[in-house]
Amino acid sequence: MNIFPKNIDIKVFELTVQKIADCGADAIIFSDPGTFHILKKYMPDTPLHMSTQASTMNYAAVQFWKDMGVKRIVFARELNIEEIKEIREKVPGMEIEIFVHGSMCMTYSGRCHLGDYMS
């Protein structure tokens, strides 16, 4: 469920979520607020985990998603250990997941990491 669907994909996404709801998934990972809304509608009791693709990088965003009912945040890969500690201190009780190694996505629309690096 960790996709950024276009308008044309929403109906199929909803049908897929309904089928998964019938299977009793342990948890669902997502990255798009629109998919979150659909997941909550059809799977209100299933724990939802915010993907690293959502680029959650600050305690305000973590608090927002916690307030919305998200169970776990998979932090953006760009965070350092001090930033993670600060988030943990300011938003206790949120489950966190951290990538300690992995590729950096440099070409995702709206996330100009290469441009940030070069400037």
For residue 16, being part of any structural domain is answered with yes
Q: What is the pLDDT of residues 32-77, one digit of tens each?
A: 999 999 999 999 999 999 999 898 999 999 999 999 999 999 998 8
| DSSP-assigned states of every residue in the chain | ------GGGHHHHHHHHHHHHHHT-S-EEE--HHHHHHHHHH-TTS-EEE-GGG---SHHHHHHHHHTT--EEE--TT--HHHHHHHHHHSTT-EEE--SS-------TT--HHHHHH-
pLDDT of residue 76: 85
For residue 2, being part of any structural domain is answered with no
Q: Over 60: is that where the pLDDT of 115 sits?
A: no
For residue 36, being part of any structural domain is answered with yes
Q: Over 70: is that where the pLDDT of 90 sits?
A: yes
Q: Over 70: is that where the pLDDT of 84 sits?
A: yes
Q: What is the count of structural domains for the chain?
A: 1
For residue 64, being part of any structural domain is answered with yes
What integer best gives the mean pLDDT of the chain?
87
Q: Count the residues in the chain.
A: 119
User: What is the rounded CA–CA span in Å between residue 69 and residue 50?
Assistant: 11
- What range does the domain containing 21 cover? 7-118
For residue 113, being part of any structural domain is answered with yes
**pTM metric for this prediction:** 0.81
Q: What is the pLDDT of residues 97-108, one digit of tens each?
A: 998 766 655 555
For residue 105, being part of any structural domain is answered with yes
Q: What is the CATH number of the domain that holds 40?
A: 3.20.20.120
pLDDT of residue 100: 77
